[in-house]
A and B are shown apart, each in its own frame.
Chain A
Amino acid sequence: MAALATPVTAPLDYLLHLADNALVLGQRNAEWCGNGPVLEEDIALANMSLDLIGQARMLYQHAAAVAGDDATEDSLAYFRDAAAFRNYTLLELPHSSEATGSEESALDYASTITRNFFYSALMLLLWEALQTSTDPQLAAIAGKSLKEVRYHFRHSRDWLVRLGDGSAESHARSQSAVSHLMPYTQEYWAQAAINHIASSETAAGMATLQTRWDDLVNDALEEAGLQRPCVMAKPAHGKNGQHSEHLAPLLAEMQSLARAHPQARW
C-alpha cells in the first residue's frame, strides 16, 4: 500500500514561501556585486546569492510540478507580481537602516550582515527540521540547503561580532541595523496559514524554533556588544502577500528581461 501511495508533497503556498524568501534575498544581496566593501566580501556575497538562487530554483521546480498546468520555475519566478510573492518583508528591504538613511541606492554593510544573520539563523533551524519533512523532495532540498546555510550563518555571525565589537562607527551602524530590522523578524512567528503548514511539515513547530532562534541571536548580540531592542512593533505581513514599497522595484528589475523576451533562451 505504502509503496503505491502518491508521494506526499508540501502545499504549494509553503513551497512558494520558501522559494520567494531565497530568491528575494538572493536578488537583494546581488546588489553588492561590484560594490563590496572589499574584494573578498564582494565575492563572498555573490557566492551566497548564488546559493540562495540555487535553493529558489530547486523549490520553484518542485512547486511547478505541484502546481501543474504550464507552471515552470521561470513562470513562478518571473511572471508573478509582488502581491503573489510570499517572502518575509525583512528580505525585500533595501540595505539601509534609519541611521544610514532609507535611500534605495544606499548600501550599508551592517544592514546586509544583520539581515543575513537574522535570516540564516532561522533557516539553519528550519532546514534542519525540514530534513524530516513528509515531502521527500522538500526533505532532500533541505539537506542540500542546510550545508549552504551553515556557511551563511557562520559568515554573517562572524561579521556581526566584528562590526558590533569593532570601531565606534561600525558599532553604531550595526546597532542601528539591529534596532531597525529586529521588529521585522516578528513576522517569522506571527500566526498565518503558512505557520500552520510549517508546523505540520516539520518535526519541530515554529514555536520550538523561536526559542532556539532567540538563543542563537542573543548569544551573538552579546558577543558583539549589541543591544537587542524591545520589539513591540506590529509584525510585517510579507508572507501573506502584503509587502513594503520596496518589493515591486526589486521584482521589476529582476523580471524585466524575462518579460521583455518571454521565450529567450541562453
Chain B
Amino acid sequence: MTKSPHPNPLPAGEGVRQNDWPLWEVFLRSKQGLEHKHCGSLHATDAQQALQMARDVYTRRQEGVSIWVVPSNTITASEPDDKPAFFEPMADKIYRHPTFYEIPDEVGHM
C-alpha cells in the first residue's frame, strides 16, 4: 500500500471520522426546473454544513439555483419485497395510459 505524502491532517478520534457524521440526501432545482430533484447524498454534521457542502459538491457546473438537504434517516422507503404487491397490479391496466384517445388535429403535438 502506498503511503499518503501527507500525514493524516485529522487523526482518528472524537468526532473526526466522517462515517460518524449523519447522511443527508441532496435535492437540486435547476434553473429551468420547477421541482427539486434528488442528485445524491453526503455526510455532514448538521443541516447548514450539509447545505454548504452540497453547494460545493453538487453545483460546481451551475446545476442548481436552489438546494434542499434532508436527513437520510427521515426518509421512509418502500421495501424491495413489496414490489409484487405494490407495483405489479398496475401492469395489466394499460387503459390508464392516455394512448387510446384520438387527438383532434387542432390540438397539435402533445
Alpha-carbon gap, A40 to B10, bound state (A): 14
Find out whether the CB atom of B53 lies under 8 angstroms from the CB atom of A44.
yes
| B103 sits at the interface (CB 8 A) | no
Query: Once the chains bind, are B52 and A37 in contact (CB under 8 Å)?
Result: no
Instruction: Say whether B109 faces chain A, with CB atoms less than 8 Å apart.
Output: no
Do the beta carbons of B43 and A105 come within 8 Å of each other?
no
User: What residues on B are CB-neighbors of A168 within 8 Å?
Assistant: 14
The reply to whether the CB of A47 lies closer than 8 angstroms to some CB of chain B is yes
A105–B6 CB distance below 8 A: yes
Asked if B53 contacts A109 (CB within 8 A), the reply is no
| Interface presence of B72 (CB below 8 A) | no
Given A47-B56, A166-B15, A167-B15, verify A38-B43 contact (CB < 8 Å): yes
A44 to B60, CA, bound (A): 10
**A180 adjacent to chain B (CB < 8 Å):** no
Interface residues on chain B, number (Cβ under 8 Å): 24
Is B57 a contact of A109 with CB atoms below 8 Å?
A: no
| Contact residue among B4, B13, B49, B52 (Cβ-Cβ distance under 8 Å from A35) | B4
Q: Which residues of A contact B5 (CB under 8 A)?
A: 35, 105
Q: Chain A 104-128 against B: per-residue CB contact (8 Å), 1 yes, 0 no?
A: 0111110000000000000000000
B9 an interface residue at 8 Å Cβ cutoff? yes
Total A-B contacts with CB atoms under 8 angstroms apart: 58
Residues of A within 8 A of B57 (CB): 39-40, 43
Q: How far is the CA of A167 from the CA of B7 in the complex (A)?
A: 20
In the complex, are the beta carbons of B6 and A107 less than 8 A apart? yes
Q: Check A167/B53 contact, CB under 8 A, given A105-B5, A105-B6, A158-B48.
A: no
Contact in complex: A37, B4 (CB < 8 Å): no
Answer yes or no: B16 CB below 8 A from chain A CBs: yes
B18 beta carbon closer than 8 Å to chain A: yes
User: Could you tell me which residues of chain B, from 6 to 25, have a CB within 8 Å of some CB in chain A?
Assistant: 6-7, 9-11, 13-16, 18
B44 contacts the other chain (Cβ, under 8 Å)?
yes
Also in contact, A35 and B10, with CB within 8 A (given A40-B56, A155-B52, A167-B15):
no
Among A47, A106, A162, point to the contact of B60 (Cβ < 8 A): A47
**CB interface residues, B 52-108, toward A, < 8 Å:** 52-53, 55-57, 60
C-alpha spacing A106/B10, complex, angstroms:
11
Give A36's nearest chain B residue, CB to CB. B9
Given contacts A43-B60, A158-B49, 10 further A-B contacts (CB under 8 A): A35-B5, A35-B9, A37-B10, A40-B42, A44-B56, A47-B56, A155-B52, A158-B48, A167-B16, A169-B11
A-B contact pairs, 30 of them (CB 8 A): A35-B5, A37-B9, A39-B57, A40-B42, A40-B43, A40-B44, A40-B53, A40-B56, A41-B53, A43-B56, A43-B57, A43-B60, A44-B56, A47-B56, A47-B60, A105-B6, A107-B7, A107-B9, A108-B9, A151-B55, A158-B49, A162-B45, A162-B49, A166-B15, A167-B13, A168-B14, A169-B11, A169-B14, A169-B16, A170-B15
Q: Interface on B for A, CB 8 Å cutoff?
A: 4-7, 9-11, 13-16, 18, 42-45, 48-49, 52-53, 55-57, 60
